[in-house]
Every structure is written in structure tokens, then in C-alpha cells.
Amino acid sequence: MKLWGGRFTKETNRLVHNFNESISFDQKFYKQDIAGSIAHVTMLAKQGILSEKDKDAIIEGLKGIRRDLDSGALTITTESEDIHSFVEAELISRIGEAGKRLHTGRSRNDQVALDMRLYVRDEIDELDTLVKGLLTELLSLMEEHLHTYMPGFTHLQKAQPVTLSHHLGAYYEMFRRDRSRLSDIRRRMNYCPLGSGALAGTTYPLDRDYTASLLGFDGPTLNSMDSVSDRDYVIELLAALSMISMHLGRFSEEIIIWNSNEYQFVEMDDSYSTGSSIMPQKKNPDIAELIRGKSGRVYGALMSMLTVMKGIPLAYDKDLQEDKELTFDAIDTVKGCLLLFTGMISTMTFRKDVMEESAKKGFTNATDAADYLVNHGVPFRDAHGIIGQLVLLCIEKKKALDDLSLEEFRSVCPVFDQDIYDAISMKTCVEKRVTTGAPGAEAMKRVIEIYKKELAQ
């Protein structure tokens, strides 16, 4: 059924219908569309705009449609232009006359603005649950690996020793910010556009506060022209999703490196790896690579939506229909990535021995050796030069700093004493770093407590 046949004398061209329709994708929010309609007629009846009898018939009818769509007894066809027309036509065919009163005091412009908001809000809640699941997994790994030493890198060159707990904790912080971004967006967008009509409100005595509260909003939106054309929250969500994708991409990249034959810091579980059709020995980190790669389409959605919005004069324009497919795709993509990523890291084996061995090589304790000299009165710049010479000596002798004899240390600087070995041991290098945010287990434990409290809320 068409909602607007009256002033037309010709059938719509088939290609025009196909180009114009949105039901092939906006059917994704039929639940939200029906929930919005139920709230709308509840309000209409309360205001005396619709009889109680018609309201009851409409709500019964809408609930029946939702049940049948859920069960598959009713299928959506692309004959209707959009999900709004489909539901309304189906309602009229089921309950007759009363169904024709559903759209009183409403336009598809505020209806779709509402549906999209309800859909995005529901998805934000699901995304939040998934990010929380990832944080929970990370936190348990962080507790398990408080003393798993590994090299920390800058420029992908070994820099100073850290712990796996600390390294994972860096990602914890990123995903923690992602969660707070989602909650900011939800708070800012949680106002109800229904009742804005096509663009200029309506002359019916609608109670917009009531509709808003029925649908769990903090109140009605305050400008009807903005309400029907605002998709800022969609852009904000796409930006937040891009950020999540970027974080997952960075983490995936590290896991791919750690899983490489050269590093072997981790081993992917068989259930999360794939093989090669030609090379029998291969076990590939496809899932991590795919997650890294998926960021492209998520960023693409953000750029597309910004571009769609940039030239839209007030109020509603059909361009706005373009908000859906790319947003749905970005949401589904990121949800899939979060789920798979969490599964991947929870089944992965961390090779503590290899990590610790690697941390011992590469002079990751050189800074601590310089600090030792500073603590014995040598100016830092001189200490830096002295340790540089010792590193050269080590490279020549194929040794680590810890392997040098006291004579060798003293051959470059007489200040060294027996206690240098303790000062540059891995344990000292890591565990003495206990300022807030540092890798020492004592510092990490304090941070973990904060995270635990936060997750329990």
C-alpha cells in the first residue's frame, strides 16, 4: 500500500519504486517502529484524540503483527515503500477502519527519526555489553599476568621491560574510554522526536512529554525542524565505532606480530585459526587480520554519513534515508569484531617463557643501569654515555648487560659495584616501578581494583 496515492494520476515507475524504497533495509527496525506506534496511540487516547476502543484495537493489531513477524508467520515484501507503510497497511488489513487512525498527528519524518533513535539506542546498549565483556576478559588476563615480564617497545624496538598485565592494561584503558563514549552518546541522544510531525509540529494537543516517557526518553526534543533532520547521534556513534575499530585494529596487529614465527609470544588456539590450501604447515591468524581489516568499512561509514549530512537544508530530505544501511553495517561489523576478538584472546596461549627471554635480550634494562649510576652521583648525561659504551661492549661480546663481569663494568666506569646486578635485574626493573600507571605489580593491583569496582556498577 502507498501512503500517498491521492494526488497522483499515474503509477510509480518500477525503477523509481526500487530506487526509492527502504523496506529492504529498514525492516531491520520493525520492533522499534511498532513500539513507537504503540506509544503514539497510547498518548493519542490519553489526550482524547483517539477513542479508547480504537486505541485498544490498534495496539492489539500491532502486537499481533509483531508476534507474526517474530515467528516468521508474516513476511515482509518489498512492495511497500518502507517499514512504516508496511506495518500501517498490514494493520488496516487486519483491523479495518481503526487502523486508518494510527497515523493521526504523525508524519513518517518524525516516525523514522524516532525509529532510528530507538534502534541506535538499543544497539548502543548491546555494544556496551560487548565492550564490557571484552574488558572483563582483559581484566582477568591482567590479574593472571601481573608478573609475566615482557619487553615494552617504542618504534617496535625493545625499550624497557614491562609486564603482560601492563601491556594489556593499555588496551583496557582504550576500551574503557570507548565505553564511556558510548554512554555519553546515549545520554545526549536520549530525547524523543515523535510529535515533531513533518517539520512544524501539529495542531493536535499531543502530550510529547508523555510519549517520551513511555519510550524511556529523558524528554521530548525541543525543535521540530531539527528533530526530523538531526542525525548527529548517528555520526557520533559511527565515530565511536571507528574508534573501537581502530583500537581493535591496533590490538590485532600486535597479536599478529606476537603470533608470528619470529616472536612466538602467543599461540592462537586452533579453533580461532585457519589453514592454507597449499602450505600444510601454516596456521594463520585470519580472525585478527579480518578484524584489523574491517576498520576500513567502519571508517567508510563515518565518512559517508558526514558527507550525506553536510549539504542537507532544513528540514527533512530524502538523503536522510542513506543513514541506515551504512550505520547498520558498521554496527553489525563492530559487534562481530568485539565478539570474535574476545573469543580469540580468551582462547589464546601466552608464552610467558618466550616473553621473558625476549625481555632479557635487547638491553631493556639499559635505562635502569644509567639510573644506577645517577643514584651513585654520576650526572645523567654522563651515565647515558657510559651505558652506551657498555652496550657496545656487550654487542661485541654477544652478552647481555647482566652477563658482564664486575671487571668489565668497571673497565668503563669505576663507580659500579656488586649491587649493579640487583639494580638491573628484570624483577627490579619492573617491580620498582610503582607510581600510578606504571607496570610494577603493586601499582597494577591498585589500578585493577579501580577497574573492578567500575565493572561491578
Residues that bind ligand ARG (CB under 6 A): 22, 26, 82, 108-109, 112, 316, 318, 320-321
**Is 276 an annotated catalytic residue?**
yes
Residue spans of alpha helices (H) in 72-107: 83-95
From CA 58, how far away is CA 42, in angstroms rounded? 10
C-alpha cell, 131:
565492550
Q: Work out the angle between the directed axes of helices 30-46 and 108-144 (0-180°, nearest 10).
A: 120
Min dist CB 232 to ligand ARG, Å, is: 16
What is the CB neighbour count within 10 angstroms for residue 419? 11
Nearer to ligand ARG, 26 or 431 (CB): 26
Q: Which of 60, 71, 68 is nearest to 95 (CA)?
A: 60
Three-state DSSP at 225 gives helix
Min dist CB 129 to ligand ARG, Å, is: 27
* Residue 24: partners with Cβ closer than 8 Å, 6 or more residues away: 78
- Its sign, for the CA torsion 369, 371, 377, 382, is positive
From CA 265, how far away is CA 255, in angstroms rounded? 9
Q: Please tell me the chain's helix, strand, coil percentages from 3-state DSSP, rounded to the nearest 5.
A: 65, 5, 30
Min dist CB 158 to ligand ARG, Å, is: 53
Min dist CB 120 to ligand ARG, Å, is: 13
C-alpha cell, 71:
515467528
Nearer to ligand ARG, 22 or 327 (CB): 22
Grid cell 513476511 — which residue?
75
Q: Which residue is nearest to ligand ARG (CB)?
A: 321
Min dist CB 239 to ligand ARG, Å, is: 21
Nearer to ligand ARG, 27 or 273 (CB): 27
In the set 71, 155, 271, 277, the catalytic residue is: 155
In the set 24, 51, 93, 276, the catalytic residue is: 276
Nearer to ligand ARG, 3 or 170 (CB): 3
Nearer to ligand ARG, 72 or 311 (CB): 311
> Are the C-beta atoms of 112 and 119 separated by less than 8 Å?
no
Residue spans of alpha helices (H) in 7-107: 14-20, 23-26, 30-46, 52-71, 83-95
* Residue 331: partners with Cβ closer than 8 Å, 6 or more residues away: 123, 127, 237, 241
Nearer to ligand ARG, 112 or 127 (CB): 112
What is the CB neighbour count within 10 angstroms for residue 75? 8
Min dist CB 320 to ligand ARG, Å, is: 5
**Is 183 an annotated catalytic residue?**
no
Annotated catalytic residues are 155, 276
